[in-house]
Amino acid sequence: MASIQEALAMLLGADSEAKNITEEAKRKAEEIEEEAKRKAASEREARLKAAREQAKAIVDSARASAQTEAQQIEALGRQELERMEKRFNENAPAVIKGLVAELVNAYLQKARGQ
């Protein structure tokens, strides 16, 4: 009977040890899982941050390009306006003289009865 009791005590001890080992393994697995989740979340956040920074850089670059283009268009428009004003100032006196001459001729012809 003593050997049965010893065997039973050994079995109970082994069962208890197996439970402890199982619980320790579960706890360790949970720790590993939590650490993996934290690392994954951290990596995800880092990727999102990098993507946001890249998007911001693209938007800033596009904005700068658009501003540069708008300034160039404005400068070209201003140059064209200056050329038009110069041509007007150069050609207006001759056009006005021609119109005045035509009007004078028209009035003279009316005055002469023609």
Place of tokens 């021609």: 98
pTM to 2 decimal places: 0.54
Note the pLDDT tens digit of each residue in 50-85.
999 999 999 999 999 999 999 999 999 999 999 999
Cα separation, 85 vs 107, whole angstroms: 32
Tell me the three-class secondary structure of 42-79, residue by residue: HHHHHHHHHHHHHHHHHHHHHHHHHHHHHHHHHHHHHH
Note the pLDDT tens digit of each residue in 33-51.
999 999 999 999 999 999 9
Cα separation, 66 vs 55, whole angstroms: 16
